[in-house]
Every structure is written in C-alpha cells, then in structure tokens.
C-alpha cells in the first residue's frame, strides 16, 4: 500500500500560481494535489485533445474554492466540500482559488499532463 502527502508528492507543473503535484500510488492510479489560482482556465492548454477537452477521468474532493467544469453538454459549478467524479470530456476553470486532491488512472493522466506541458512550453 502507498500513501502520500502534498508535501511529499513531486511537483510536475508549476507557474503562474498553479501547483500540480502527482504521485503514482499503485493499482494503476495516481494521486494529485492541485492548486489553481482564481481565473485559471485550463481550456487553452487542452486544445488539440479530443474535443479540446481532458479525456482522463478524475475522482476527487474540492477542499477550497469553486470550479466551473465545461463539457460538450454544458457546464456545472463545483464548490468546496464536494466530492466529485469528472468523466472524460471536461475543461476546468477556477472561479476562485482552488485546492483539490484527485485520483486518476496514471497512464491517461500522464498523457494529458504531457499534452498540457507541450502547450505551455
């Protein structure tokens, strides 16, 4: 079994106030600790993926803030205190400073992260 904390999880993406830490925790899943400052829109970094949306599913908990999640079917707002499942086909926008912890299939998450890094680089 594996456990991790925000402090011991490696940073894989940072800049402009964004702090994304990811660790493979076994069983084909990664844990991610994510901070997005208010106004962060991940949509532009997802351009080029299928539907220009993240295709990796995520299960998580929103500790702080509010997120607008855009999908091909519309949008929904998530708030601090909510546990969530975001299926493939979404693009988040932080309406307030956001802190989440989420669990995602490692292989799919790494593919999305590699794409996002290539868009930002």
Query: Tens digit of pLDDT for each residue in 28-68?
Result: 999 999 999 999 999 999 999 999 999 999 999 999 999 99
In a domain, 45, yes or no: yes
Q: How high is the pLDDT of residue 119?
A: 87
In a domain, 76, yes or no: yes
In a domain, 83, yes or no: yes
In a domain, 106, yes or no: no
In a domain, 63, yes or no: yes
Of 39, 53, 48, whose CA–CA distance to 91 is shortest?
53
pLDDT at 2 over 90: no
- Give mean pLDDT, residues 95-100: 98
Q: How high is the pLDDT of residue 1?
A: 66
In the block, tokens 């830490």 appear at: 21
Per the CB < 8 A criterion, the answer to whether 16 and 97 are in contact is no
Domain count, the chain: 1
CATH number, domain with residue 95: 2.60.120.10
Q: How high is the pLDDT of residue 76?
A: 97
In a domain, 35, yes or no: yes
In the block, tokens 């890094």 appear at: 117
Domain residues for the domain of 72 are 11-100
Q: How high is the pLDDT of residue 110?
A: 96
Per the CB < 8 A criterion, the answer to whether 19 and 64 are in contact is no
In a domain, 70, yes or no: yes
pLDDT at 121 over 90: no
Please, which residues have CB within 8 angstroms of residue 71's CB and are 6 or more apart in sequence?
53, 89, 90, 91
- The pTM assigned to this predicted structure is 0.94
Q: How many CB atoms lie within 10 A of CB 44?
A: 11
In a domain, 107, yes or no: no
């Amino acid at each position: 079994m594996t456990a991790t904390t925000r402090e011991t999880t490696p940073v894989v993406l940072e800049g402009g106030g964004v702090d994304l830490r990811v660790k493979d925790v076994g069983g084909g899943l990664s844990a991610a600790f994510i901070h997005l400052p208010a106004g962060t829109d991940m949509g532009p970094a997802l351009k080029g993926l299928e539907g220009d949306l993240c295709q990796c599913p995520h299960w998580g908990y929103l500790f702080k803030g509010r997120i607008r999640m855009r999908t091909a079917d519309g949008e929904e707002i998530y708030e601090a205190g909510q546990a969530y499942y975001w299926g493939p086909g979404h693009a988040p926008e932080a309406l307030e400073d956001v802190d989440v912890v989420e669990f995602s299939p490692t292989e799919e998450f790494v593919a999305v992260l590699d794409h996002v890094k290539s868009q930002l680089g």
